[in-house]
Amino acid sequence: MKTGNMILVSNRLPTTVEMGPRGPVLKPSSGGLVTALRPVFKARKGYWIGWPGEGPGEEVEKLVAGSSDSACQLIPVMLTPGDLRGFYTGFSNEIVWPLFHDLQARCNFDPTYWKAYVSVNRKFADVTARVADHDSVVWVHDYHLMLLGEFLRGQGIRSRMGFFLHIPFPPVDIFEKLPWRTQILRALFRFDVIGFQTTRDQRNFLSCVRRFLPDVSLQRHDGETRATSGGQVTLIRSFPIGIDFDEFNTHAQQPEIAARVAEIRDDMRGRQIIIGVDRLDYTKGLPERLRAFQHLFTTYKHLRRQVSLVQIVVPSRENIPKYRELKLETEMLISQINGQFGDPGWMPIHYIHRSVQRPELIALYGAADIALVTPIKDGMNLVSKEFCASQVDERGVLILSEFAGSAEQLNHGAVLVNPYDFGAVADALNLAFCMDSDERTQRMRKLRRRVRNANVFRWCDDFCSYLENAYGRSARAA
Ligand code: ADQ
């Protein structure tokens, strides 16, 4: 029986493969997306389709197929090393990722990458088509799988299909550099719903459609756009993703975490703690942030010895040369700043280069006086929201880049900055340092209210019910 199932498709399955003493073992991941999707899978039979991660192919495939996640059945899409090079490292991360973050100079428009992208999207379509039927709801995630709707429709699949883009959508002057711009836009119109993080992304996308697909008619109404193309309807709207607020908020109030917060603060000997938490990615604006921090101690000399930055960086995409260069640049800047300003009793920057466990992360968020979240562009940025949810005593200040998607929701309580303006970031740090406790509380209260309300469960509910009710379906089924 396949009726009415929910099929989620993403590049990665919500698991990782680890090598144990007796061969590969499967570890479930516990990200916000997985938590948010559990209730959806409770209501209906569910499948999650994706690549399971590196490991010995056949063994991993058997392991995943035989695993029973309590919420849904996992279905692996097996990819060869060649697929991963061309599709994942190549097209997804050397073309779409930089281009969609407005960094066209970092793109490598190698035509072989496109071939791999097409072929892997087809592989995903073949696997999805095996479990999809007319009553299924298919929810495709992110920039790796923009062609999936087209290939599924090509196989005669008429179920409701939605696509959500987790990263930004670039302005038309940047998107137009993409050699495959028309094919990608056309393919997206085979979905019934296209969701973006922010209204800015939605606007950019619509400008691109007007420029490159003049035959598509667009009607705007109340925040959503109804696009008609060849008699088929696609609805376009923004659905800003949230976090599991309660998870952070509840953990932050537990005595062990409170004790750890006190310990961290103690270790810092009364200095204000500035926290930065990022994947090591050039979009997160790390070198820019460090230069602004350096500028701070030259402009605001009184802040020397009064503040320390705790910068936590999780390694990412280490097989891509640009990411290795970024690691070197970041570490060089950190040692330069520590060498230039530090002394035996004070380290300006504490650098942690590894993944930190959730309880420790919440304690660090809770102990911080200031969060410095300055991506040069970000679809949403969950760190800005996690910081607010962990600030149970409401005294932290959030300094947030104007170019993070979350700035659209958090602009009332955060101090917004242009991350390229080192002077302005240094000014914001000084402002936050000097901010009195009433203003801090007032701002943080607003932020927490917003993050609590627009949580990940609401996001998931909004998208799923919108997709299920999408009237595009009747046009397609005709
Ligand atoms: P990411 O680019 O991965 O996500 P982000 O939204 O900041 O960016 O999420 C990063 C996650 O990794 C956070 O949950 C954070 O806690 C965690 N993390 C970072 N450093 C860590 C460390 N050292 N140890 C442990 N955990 C760490 C993409 C888009 C974003 C969008 C999300 C969700 O690029 O714009 O917000 O998807 O849609």
Report the distance separating Cα 186 and Cα 150, nearest Å.
Answer: 8
pLDDT of residue 476: 52
* Helices (H), ranges, 155-193: 172-175, 181-188
- The percent of residues in the chain predicted with pLDDT above 90, rounded, is 80
Q: For residue 239, report the phi and psi dihedrals to the nearest 5 degrees.
A: -135, 85
Give residue ranges with CB within 6 A of ligand 1: 166-167, 241, 277-279, 312-314, 355-356, 361, 378-383, 386, 405
Which of 16, 247, 277, 386 has most ligand 1 atoms within 8 Å of CB, for mutation? 277
pLDDT single digits (tens) 74-94 = 999 999 999 999 999 999 999
| 365-377 mean pLDDT | 98
What is the mean predicted confidence (pLDDT) over 22-26?
A: 81
**In angstroms, what is the span from residue 336 Cα to ligand 1's centroid?**
27
Distance CA 304, CA 297 (A): 6
38, pLDDT greater than 80: no
Measure 375 CA to ligand 1 centroid, in angstroms. Answer: 11
Residues 452-471: tens digit of each pLDDT:
999 999 999 999 999 988 85
> Ligand 1 mean position to 196 CA, how many Å?
17
**Ligand 1 center–CA 282 separation, angstroms:** 13
Residue 474, pLDDT > 60, answer no
Q: Ligand 1: which atom is nearest the Cα of residue 355?
A: 24
- Residue 43 CA, distance from chain mean position: 26
Q: Report whether pLDDT(10) > 60.
A: yes
Work out the pLDDT band at 268, boundaries 50, 70, 90.
very high
- Residue 451's nearest CA partner among 149, 236, 247, 193 is 247
What spacing in Å lies between the alpha carbon of 381 and ligand 1's midpoint?
6
CB 366 within 8 A of CB 391: yes
Residue bearing the CA closest to ligand 1, atom 15: 383
SS (H, E, C) 45-94: CEEEEEECCCCCHHHHHHHHHHCCCCCCEEEECCCCHHHHHHHHHHHHHH
How do residues 287-322 score in pLDDT, each as one tens digit? Answer: 999 999 999 999 999 999 999 999 999 988 888 888
pLDDT at 69: 62
Map out the domains of the chain as residue ranges.
6-241+457-477, 245-453
Residue 14 confidence (pLDDT): 86
What's the pLDDT at 477? 44
Pick the CATH number of 245-453 from 2.40.110.10, 3.40.50.2000, 3.30.390.50, 3.40.50.300: 3.40.50.2000
Q: Residue 54 pLDDT > 90, yes or no? A: no
Q: Residue range 256-280: average pLDDT?
A: 96
Residue 133 has pLDDT above 50, yes or no: yes
pLDDT(2) > 50: no
6-241+457-477 topology per CATH:
Rossmann fold (3.40.50)
**Which pTM was predicted?**
0.95
What does the pLDDT look like over 401-455, one tens digit per residue?
A: 999 999 999 999 999 999 999 999 999 999 999 999 999 999 999 999 999 999 9
pLDDT averaged over every residue in the chain: 92
Distance separating alpha carbons of residues 216 and 80, to the nearest angstrom:
37
- What is the pLDDT averaged over residues 367-393? 97
pLDDT at 399 over 50: yes
| Banded model confidence at residue 24, pLDDT cuts 50, 70, 90 | confident
Predicted confidence band of residue 475 (pLDDT cuts 50, 70, 90)? very low
